[in-house]
Structure 1
Amino acid sequence: MTATEKSILIALGSNLSHPTWGAPPAILMAAIEMLAQAGVSTRRCSSIWRSAAWPDPTDPPYANAVIAVATLLPPVDLLAALHRIEAAFGRARGKLNAPRTLDIDLIAYGSLVHDGADGPQLPHPRTQDRAFVLRPLAEVDPAWRHPISGTGIAALLAALPPDQTCVLWGD
C-alpha cells in the first residue's frame, strides 16, 4: 500500500455451507467476486484462516479472510453493499454470534474514525481483539496501524490473549 492510498479493509467469515456456493472457503471467494460487481475492487486478499466458532466452539469452525479494496463508495454506501451481499448468501440477522453462511465487516476505511451515529463505526470496534481479523490483515497490509490507538499490527497481534488463535485453513 502506498502512503497516498487509503487502506480500506474488509473481513469476511463463513462457517456454514451453502447449496449454491458450497463450503465456507468457496463462499468467501464467491463473495469477493460479488463485491467486484458492486464496484469494490480487491487489491489484495489474505490466505484463508480457520478459527473456532465463538461463543460455542462446538459450532462449525469459521473460514476467515481479509481483503484490501479500492472503491469510490463512501463508507455508508460500502456498508450497505456489504449487507446486500450477505443477504444474497442467505445471511439472516438474528441471534448474535450465530453460525452463518457469510459475515462481512468493514474493518477500516483509511484512517477515518467514526462513532457510528450516522454510518458505520470505524474502525470496526473489535478489530484489535480478534486473531481471525488481525492474522489475515497482517498478510494484506503489514504496515497497518489502528486508526485510534496508532498501534501497529505486530503489536496488536502480540497483545492478543493466548486463547485468541487461528490457523491457515489447510493446516
Structure 2
Amino acid sequence: MATDRSGIFIALGANLPSEVHGAPRATLEAAVQFLAREGVRILKRSSWWQSEAQPVSEQPDFVNGVIEIRTGLAPAALLERLHRVEEAFGRLRQTRWEARVLDLDLIDYRGLSMSGEGGGPLLPHPRMQDRLFVLLPLREIAPDWRHPVTGVAIDALIAGVNPIKINRLE
C-alpha cells in the first residue's frame, strides 16, 4: 500500500495554565518555540483547536494542534526529548487522562510501525485514529496522510470517529 513515509508528526495539547507561559494556547505556542530551539525543525503547524476532554469529564477544555517536524533523532530519542519538554513545562504524570499543562504525543514517525517493546515508542500512536482533536489538525497540514498500518485515508478516519465538541480557534 502506498504511504507517504516522509512525515514526523507530533500532537500537542494542554488544558491547564502554565505558571510560566499562562493559558494553554500560550503554553502550546511556547512549546513549539522550545522544540525549535531544541534542534527540532518545524515544517508545518496546524491551527489550534478547542475540544472537550476525552473521555468526557469535568476537566477544562483542551487546546490541541499538530506539527510536522524534521529531526535527526531516532523515534525513541525523540519521544524521550518530548517527555523532557513536558517536564520542563511542569507536566506531572500521575493519572491517565488527567488535566495537564502540556501533552506531546509522537503520532507518526515516517510511517514506522513499532511495538513499544524495550521502552521505545509505540508507533503509530495507538489511539490517534479515534481522536478528532488529533485527526482534524493533522488533516490541515497533511490532507493526503494515511494511517501507516491500515492505509486508511485521514478523511475516512475522521468520518468514522464519534463526534465531540470541537472547533478551530485560528
The question of whether the paired residues in 2 share the 8 Å contact of 1:7 and 1:109 is answered with: yes
The question of whether the paired residues in 2 share the 8 Å contact of 1:109 and 1:123 is answered with: yes
Q: Which amino acid aligns with 1:137?
A: L
The question of whether the paired residues in 2 share the 8 Å contact of 1:11 and 1:105 is answered with: yes
Q: Which amino acid aligns with 2:89?
A: F
Alignment of 1:45-124 (within 5 A): 45-118=45-118, 119-124=120-125
Shift of 1:59: 1.0
Alpha-carbon RMSD: 1.5
Q: Which amino acid aligns with 2:83?
A: H
Q: Output the TM-score relative to the length of structure 2.
A: 0.94
Alignment of 1:10-21 (within 5 A): 10-21=10-21
Shift of 1:19: 2.1
Shift of 1:169: 2.6
- Aligned mates of 1:104, 1:87 — CA distance in 2: 11
The question of whether the paired residues in 2 share the 8 Å contact of 1:131 and 1:165 is answered with: no
| Identity score, percent | 47
Runs of 4+ in structure 1 over 3 Å off = none
- Aligned mates of 2:62, 2:4 — CA distance in 1: 34
Which string of whole-angstrom CA distances, capped at 9 and with x for unpartnered residues, describes residues 42-84 of structure 1? 1000000001013343211000000000000000000000000
- Aligned mates of 2:165, 2:76 — CA distance in 1: 31
Give ranges in structure 2 of 5+ residues lacking alignment. none
- Aligned mates of 2:143, 2:151 — CA distance in 1: 14
Alignment of 1:91-170 (within 5 A): 91-118=91-118, 119-162=120-163, 164-169=164-169
Shift of 1:165: 4.1
- Aligned mates of 2:4, 2:67 — CA distance in 1: 18
SS of match in other structure, 2:86: helix
Q: How many residues align?
A: 167
